[in-house]
Amino acid sequence: MPKVAFKMKLKPGFEAEYEKRHDEIWPELAAELKKAGVSDYSIYLDPETRILFAVQKVEDTQKADQLPQSPVVRKWWDYMSDIMEVNPDHSPVVVPLPQVFHLD
Residues with a known catalytic role: 22
The helix (H) or strand (E) run that includes residue 21 is: helix 15-23
What DSSP element (H or E) covers 3?
A: strand 3-9
CB 96 within 8 A of CB 56: no
Strands 3-9 and 38-46: unpaired
The answer to whether 50 and 9 are in contact (CB under 8 A) is: yes
